[in-house]
Amino acid sequence: MRRVLSYARSFDQLVIQHPEEPSLGGAGEVTEGEIATRLGLPAVTPMAEIIMIERDLRLVEITGARFHIAHVSTAAGIDAIRQAKAAGLPVTCDTAPPYFALNETAIGDYRTFAKLSPPLRSETDRRAVVAGLADGTIDAIASDHAPWDQDSKRLPFSSATCGIVGLETLLPLSLELYHNHHLELIEVLRRLTVNPARILGLEVGRLTPGRPADLVLFDPDVPWRIDTERFRSKSKNAPFDGRPVQGHAVQTVVDGRTIFARAG
């Protein structure tokens, strides 16, 4: 990893890491704790994420490479990133809606639609993710979109694939941070648009002259209930079915062309 970071620094390239120490996390299916014990499922310790984050931050300190940590999910991991940023290291990170909208109890009685990698964490970790978004430690919100066919998810928990559909619920779940008074609306949008574009060095994500005419017109307040059967995706593997939310897209424009318009 040090060699990877050194080469990336030479070419000013970004390195993105899924932070999990494989010898600690490889066989785990849910986060370590009461739920794992009660269900009798192999557990992955949160330390698998934290140890990898701390290792890589030390290597960034040596190399000076630009480094991005994907879908952070633990309080200690977020705190390590917070300290690295305070020390001036070129580090960014993101999380995904499941890690601020759900905790490990969403697994219920072996609900494979709530099986993710990293796994859903404790309520303490969930609150830490919200706090990390609120104070700017977490730069971006990613969909972590992982569509799977029904046969890959409707299996015994240990055999089911990790991952959920994320694109169609990204906006309303992120808007919960606004409706619950954790972030201002502009800060939610910044983590969905400008910040990811800046991290990746893309000329998108902002409405300015000369930029691509990409935009989403949305109503932030309209109430509705998530119904996976109405997803446009062929995949329906989402743990949010039936969840009441506020806000949905009305129109989507890409490069000046309308590609989606809500009927009515």
Known catalytic residues? 144
Structure tokens at 85: 């940023």
Residue 259 DSSP one-character state: E
Distance CA 219, CA 130 (A): 23
Structure tokens at 234: 């062929």
Q: Which DSSP helix (H) or strand (E) runs through 47?
A: helix 47-63
Distance CA 128, CA 144 (A): 19
- Convert 188-206 to b/e letters by CB count within 10 Å (16 or more is b): bbbbbbbbbbebeeeeebe
